[in-house]
Chains A and B, each alone.
Chain A
Amino acid sequence: MKEKLEQIKKEAIREIQNSDGLAKLNDVRVAFLGKKGELTAVLKSMKDVLPEERPVVGQLVNETRQSIERLIEETKTKLEAAEREVKLKQEVIDVTLPARKNRVGHRHPNIIALEEVERIFVGMGYEVVEGPEVEYDYYNFEALNIPANHPAKDEQDTFYINDKIVLRTQTSPVQVREMEKGKLPIRMIAPGRVFRSDEVDATHSPSFHQIEGLVVDKNITFADLKGTLAEFARELFGEGTKVKFRPHHFPFTEPSAEVDVTCFKCGGKGCRFCKGSGWIEILGCGMVHPRVLKMSGIDPEEYSGFAFGVGLERIALLKYEIDDMRLLYENDYRFLKQF
């Protein structure tokens, strides 16, 4: 009996080692371990074994069975790995073939720039508000300290609907509307479309966008204005950006300033982009004129504030190096898809 088992085991090992595939291996398993297999046959012949020998023989059979099973398992694992290997080799693809893309649309560069600006100011606690594009002369001019017949009205080349209603020339009227609400403190920006009667060319458009900013609170200083806009410029144009404040005049702010930033093309050394000066003008600002505060029902003795106005197109043109403003309103897909 013992010899027979040895014999079976030897045969089984040989057969297993000769298996060249999973199917063959399965055949081997059936031949030895199956219901009609050789080892099963040995078990069935146990009844011929003497009862006292049965435990020993039984153990022998089990051991043989286990070692065959183990070997089959091991071989199976190896064969499977080999087969997967073959399959993987067959499945090689050319990863350099073109991608199949979803044709996702593109956002207008103006809006991308606007969202940048909004992100910066919302982060500083500013609310984004809007106002009408067709506006009363009062809000667009008078309440901003630009009385009737003021030359500034000419400078801004206004489109008139009638003598009381205009297409707003600036987003500043939103300031007034916000102040009139009487809720203080105010920290707001107001982006939007504005209109001036400029003929269309590479740097002018009769319709463009501005972002107005306004802060009104107790103890707001010119230093706060400087700090805020310096922070804004660094966020928008990069950490190393410096700002320069130059005195200027706007009817609705006093003191007023224009702000230059270091040219982001040359870093301030001077290049064709900044016309050699190293600086690029980006916005106008100032402390809200006490008369403007008063007209909107805010006591200038108690409150002060600053305001600024940025041309959105100017930011977009500078930031994305777009050399012709007309591109922004043509909507040529070849232009838009670059953003």
Chain B
Amino acid sequence: MNTSLSWIKAYVPDLDVTAQEYTDAMTLSGSKVEGYEKLDADLDQIVVGQITKIEKHPDADKLVVCQVNVGTGEDIQIVTGASNVREGNKVPVVLDGGRVAGGHDGKKTPGGIKIKKGKLRGVPSNGMMCSIEELGSDREMYPEAPEEGIYIFGEDAVVGENAVTALGLDDVVFEYEITSNRVDCFGVLGLAREAAATFHKEFKPPVVTKTGNEEDVNDYVKVTVKDTELCPRYCARVVKNIKIAPSPKWMQRRLASQGIRPINNIVDITNYVMEEYGQPMHAYDLDTIAGKEIVVRRAAENEKFVTLDGQERTMDDSVLMICDGEKAVGIAGIMGGENSMITDDVQTMLFEAACFDGTNIRLSSKKIGLRTDASGKFEKGLDPNNAIDAINRACQLIEELEAGEVVGGVVDVYGKVKEGRRIPFDAQKVNQLLGTEIEKETMIGYFKKIDLDYDFDKEEVLVPSWRQDLECLADMAEEVARFYGYDNIPTSLPKGEATTGKLSFKMRVEEVARETAEFCGFSQGMTYSFESPKVFDKLLIPEDSQLRRTVVISNPLGEDFRIMRTVSLHGMLTSLSTNFNRRNKNVRLYELGNIYLPKQIPVTELPEERMQFTLGMYGEGDFYVMKGVVEEFFDKAGLHERAGYDPNAGKPFLHPGRQANILYGQEVVGYLGEIHPQVADNYAIKERVYVAVIDMPKITELASFDRKYQGIAKFPAVTRDISMVMPKNILAGEVEKVFDTRGGQYLESYELFDIYEGSQIQAGYKSLAYSLTFRAKDKTLEEADYAPAMDKIVKNLEELGIELRK
């Protein structure tokens, strides 16, 4: 929403503020001004001049030498290349040292262009005559300006006067961000009312006088509303003997300041009233209205209609149509039809000012794919009581501008009259909510300023129908607060019962994950929760996999964002790929983010959201480094038992020989491995990629921050080394399981210190060497204490086909 300052001043004549003062104060009282443009910011020393004499330039065919009276008594000489000027013309002249906004091509120069006297082909020129473009505007806004050449004023322009003022360019255009609840402020009048209240000035809206001749509009047209839900009110008036002409300059300027192009008196009046009252109107050529009757009804399913922009559009039965006795003539509240539009030959016109259901207009406009100025206003839900004022105002302007003869009376189909509201008021409660001590009288004073009356007997605020946003006491508190000034409300902190600030246990475990990952060199990434269904192919996930059962977004931004992820790896691999592609070396990333597992397909309840701790890396490091990070995390999260690793994880996106499910106790809590080379290829990462994915809900269940001091060993340990040769397919985990089960009470720890495969031993075999540490809490161990355990270990290993080396 835009308004010019001059239009606001038309209804608040005493308003005397700078653009900045207006911006600040209006914003603080609730009408946010996003910015403003001073139309004359780059215009300086420009006056109305009259050309007294034009002569040929002695040395240039395309130039002429003009003598121009600029009201100083002595004519000044200006050389120009413009061909449209004639002796006697009144034109805008920028004097020596003045500024214009830009070139005649319409391009503006920031700060403007300074004009100095000089010589053109040897002839002195002491200023410049300006085109409308050089003045920073255009023919859209000043349709009377020539297509090319100097702007020429009308006869009434006064020589020597400020041309900027004469053109109405001494104005400021404000751009507002109006919140959707303030329907009334989508009209200039509503904003002017706010401005008057904000600056404590009198608000003087236009006085709408009785219009129309002795005839009766009912003799011209009949209106039937078939759906009063969707059309609570329909007002129609008729204008005959129409004289199409340009509208007056003041109206053109005001429309221009709103960004609306002036066209002719009828269209301009319609637009003018729409801007002024916030009430869209439509004009039909009454001679095209069959049966001289208007019927408001829903469209038939698949009804076709050509709107006045020449496009054929298809409706469904939720769209409201304006029809005549035979056919549709307009889509209600959105756009009129080609078949009934006003042309220059129009004789008699039907004016419509109606109120349509905002939601319906919004949905229809979406369905048809057509959003107009009118629909934009209607969809906010207009006040039906405004329609009658607007149509009468339009007719008043028709008479004032002598654009036609208004027929007496209004056809007004208005079912249930919308009444204002009464809100019980309690100043004490308002103060309680705001934390203020504002006098009740002061509050009532604020209400008066914005036309809210107060019933002292019943202690109720009377809210007019155009303030549909005011419903309860809290709404009244906001009205008080914004005119008292949000800035003037004191500051305090909540009193009352103290509460404990804390993070949840889940968040604390996540914090441990972050710390561990970062300590191990992983940086935190963030990726989107939605991705393309093609991701599954990229990850080699089979067609029938459960993972392909996803929560699907019905209106995604595109195919690439259609499903909620069920695997966390795509984001990680994409990020690693980005890094690889940008030649970042040795990249390690982690992410804490949800996957979304549907409970049923189709989805009828919320999916299960499971936080995944995903780690990924390429460059330095291998499978065992990643495994180390996992175990570091488990340790820090209080999972002190040894994690198990099952190589039969069955992850299609991982290297078949380098993957494992991570087990804690009997439970799978995640997986890790090397990315399958085919998948790495799919992500264009030309290095080995290692990942680990840990299911955080399971870890949170198992985690604990309880610690008990175990004491520090007082007695010496005994270390025994075991060196073994075994077939390759026996896993270290199996060996370690033997240590765990046969090690007895004194086995404190064991550590792999050598692993060998190669020419020194038989093909298909490998050698492992472990160091076993035995210790007792209460004594120094004798051989007899640990020898039985060693024997059991050795025996068990041999049973597995493992050969001990001496």
Contacts and interface: CB of A to CB of B under 8 A. Distances in A.
Contacts of B478: 247, 254-256
B540 interface: no
Interface in A99-146: 102-108, 110-111, 118, 121-130, 132-136
Contact of A247 (B28, B491, B587, B590): B28
A110 B592 CA distance: 12
A28 to B, nearest CB: 43
A187 B28 CA distance: 29
Contacts of B481: 222, 247, 255
A185 interface: yes
Given A161-B603, A230-B491, A332-B584, A246 B28 contact: yes
B512 interface: no
Given A231-B493, A247-B29, A106 B579 contact: no
Nearest to B514: A107
Interface in B412-463: 432-436
B487 A245 contact: yes
B331 interface: no
A104 B487 contact: no
Given A106-B518, A332-B578, A134 B609 contact: yes
B582 A332 contact: yes
Contacts of A289: 474
Interface residues of A, number: 84
A119 B284 CA distance: 64
B502 A128 contact: yes
Contacts of B362: 149, 151, 154
Interface stretch (B50-58, B551-559, B658-666, B674-682): B551-559
B368 interface: no
Interface stretch (B132-140, B337-345, B524-532, B690-698): B524-532
B526 A247 contact: no
Nearest to A286: B478
Interface in B212-258: none
A289 to B, nearest CB: 6
Contact of B596 (A118, A130, A134, A151): A134
A105 B591 CA distance: 12
B395 interface: no
A49 interface: no
Interface stretch (B179-187, B305-313, B783-791): B179-187
Interface stretch (A2-10, A84-92, A192-200): A192-200
A136 to B, nearest CB: 7
A124 B28 contact: no
A102 B524 contact: no
Contacts of A273: none
Nearest to B497: A185
Given A106-B518, A134-B596, A219 B496 contact: yes
Contact of B501 (A126, A248, A328): A126
B474 A287 contact: yes
A159 interface: yes
B493 A224 contact: yes
A132 B518 CA distance: 27
Given A161-B552, A332-B579, A149 B526 contact: no
Contacts of A123: 501
Contacts of A132: 606, 609
Contacts of B182: 249
B525 A165 contact: no
Nearest to A226: B491
B570 interface: no
A30 interface: no
Contact of A105 (B497, B522, B530, B602): B522
Interface string A232-262: 0000000000001111110000111110000
Contact of B523 (A105, A160, A187): A105
A227 B486 contact: no
A68 interface: no
Contacts of B519: 102, 104-105
Interface string A251-288: 00011111000000000000000000000000000010
A226 B434 CA distance: 10
A73 to B, nearest CB: 38
A103 B451 CA distance: 68
A337 B588 CA distance: 11
B27 interface: yes
B108 interface: no
A227 B491 contact: yes
A248 B607 CA distance: 35
B779 interface: no
Interface string B600-621: 0011111101000000000000
Contacts of A135: 606
Contact of B554 (A110, A152, A161, A257): A161
Contacts of A129: 504
A290 B489 contact: no
A264 B499 CA distance: 32
A301 to B, nearest CB: 9
A83 interface: no
Interface in A162-208: 162, 164-165, 167, 185, 187, 193, 195, 197, 199, 206-207
B491 A107 contact: no
Contact of A106 (B493, B502, B524, B593): B524
A162 B523 CA distance: 36
A276 to B, nearest CB: 10
Nearest to B181: A249
Nearest to A119: B501
Interface of B: 27-30, 32, 179-182, 358-359, 362-363, 379-380, 432-436, 469, 472-475, 477-478, 481-482, 486-487, 489-504, 506-507, 514, 517-530, 551-557, 561, 564, 575, 578-579, 582, 584, 586-590, 593-594, 596, 602-607, 609
14 contacts: A103-B521, A111-B514, A126-B499, A133-B609, A195-B530, A217-B497, A220-B494, A222-B489, A245-B487, A287-B477, A304-B432, A331-B579, A333-B579, A334-B582
Given A230-B491, A333-B523, A336-B523, 5 more contacts: A104-B518, A105-B522, A151-B358, A254-B475, A332-B578
Shortest beta-carbon contacts, A-B, top 8:
A223-B435, A221-B435, A255-B478, A249-B179, A331-B525, A247-B30, A122-B501, A331-B575
Interface of A: 102-108, 110-111, 118, 121-130, 132-136, 149, 151-152, 154-155, 159-162, 164-165, 167, 185, 187, 193, 195, 197, 199, 206-207, 215, 217-224, 226-228, 230-231, 244-249, 254-258, 287, 289-291, 304, 328-334, 336-337
